[in-house]
């Protein structure tokens, strides 16, 4: 949690709550320590396995922190208790934000550790995919270049994939983040959101969207990093 403490000091803010997407150590490991440092700290999440959890949230539940409004979106699959958080401020010119944890990545989606292709399909099409198109996607990891290399294997003719990959490589070289993207962009280059597109179906040899997603995930899990 030390990086977070540094940011809190630098920004001169008060830490009141933590929204945890899932229990994996690389997303929740600092919770206990922060809870000790900040008595009364609220820790929100949907899984009992989340460290220092104080408030269990449910799908569709709305929270308010000052002017910030949060809608909890339950997306089980990567873990059985995965929750995404959609945030906005009323009357703000800024686009809303989605903190998607390990469900939706820039150019990819999370592994199906504790769930099924059916669940991930529901997550991506009915829950996250229906959010406003200008929503900024803040995912849990920087694996954009690797994801887009796979996307290029799936759709070698997709110009948006080529453009985004070139951009992401440049950002990587300059040690700059590739996050956030927007939901609108993701539909143009993320194969896991493009399961009804003919080139993606051709790559998987399937037409049923859930089967296309299942095959994509299997191929992605076995995807070896191509030589530069």
Fold designation for 57-222: Metallo-beta-lactamase; Chain A (3.60.15)
The pLDDT of residue 7 is 97
Confidence bin at 224 (pLDDT 50/70/90): confident
Residue spans in the chain of domains classed CATH 3.60.15.10? 57-222
Contact partners, residue 178, CB within 8 Å, separation at least 6: 106, 142, 144, 145, 167, 168, 171, 172
Assess whether pLDDT exceeds 80 at residue 86. yes
Dump pLDDT digits (tens) for 31-57.
Answer: 999 999 999 999 999 999 999 999 999
| Sign of the dihedral through C-alpha 192, 195, 197, 202 | positive
Mean pLDDT in the chain? Answer: 96
Are 105 and 69 in contact by the 8 Å Cβ rule? The answer is no
**Helix extents (H) in the chain:** 2-11, 25-28, 31-37, 117-122, 144-154, 159-173, 183-189, 198-204, 209-221
Q: What is the arithmetic mean of pLDDT over 142-147?
A: 97
The pLDDT of residue 46 is 98
The structure's pTM equals: 0.96
Dump pLDDT digits (tens) for 95-122.
Answer: 999 999 999 999 999 999 999 999 999 9
The pLDDT of residue 225 is 58
Catalytic residues: 22, 24, 26-27, 78, 102, 141
The pLDDT of residue 226 is 54
Per-residue CA distances from 205 to 149, 156, 212, 213 (Å): 20, 16, 8, 11
The pLDDT of residue 120 is 98
The pLDDT of residue 122 is 98
The pLDDT of residue 127 is 98
Compute the distance between CA of residue 81 and CA of residue 153 in angstroms, rounded to an integer: 31
Dump pLDDT digits (tens) for 123-140.
Answer: 999 999 999 999 999 999
Dump pLDDT digits (tens) for 153-207.
Answer: 999 999 999 999 999 999 999 999 999 999 999 999 999 999 999 999 999 999 9
């Amino acid at each position: 949690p030390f990086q977070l403490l540094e940011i809190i000091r630098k920004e001169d803010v008060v830490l009141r709550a933590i929204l945890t997407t899932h229990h994996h150590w690389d997303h929740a490991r600092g919770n206990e320590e922060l809870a000790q440092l900040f008595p009364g700290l609220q820790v929100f999440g949907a899984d009992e396995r989340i460290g220092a959890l104080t408030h269990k949230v449910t799908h569709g539940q709305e929270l308010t922190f000052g002017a910030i409004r949060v809608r909890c979106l339950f997306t089980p699959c990567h873990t059985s208790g995965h929750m995404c958080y959609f945030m906005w401020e009323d009357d703000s010119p800024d686009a809303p934000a989605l903190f998607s944890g390990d469900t939706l990545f820039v150019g990819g989606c999370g592994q199906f550790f504790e769930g099924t292709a059916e669940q991930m399909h529901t997550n991506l099409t009915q829950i996250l995919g229906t959010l406003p198109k200008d929503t900024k996607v803040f995912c849990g990891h920087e694996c954009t270049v690797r994801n887009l290399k796979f996307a290029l294997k799936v759709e070698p003719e997709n110009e948006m994939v080529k453009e985004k990959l070139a951009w992401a490589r440049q950002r990587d070289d300059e040690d700059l983040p590739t996050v956030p993207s927007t939901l609108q962009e993701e539909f143009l280059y993320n194969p896991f959101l493009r399961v009804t597109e003919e080139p993606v179906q051709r790559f998987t040899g399937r037409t049923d969207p859930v089967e296309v997603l299942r095959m994509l995930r299997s191929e992605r899990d076995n995807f070896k990093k191509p030589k530069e």
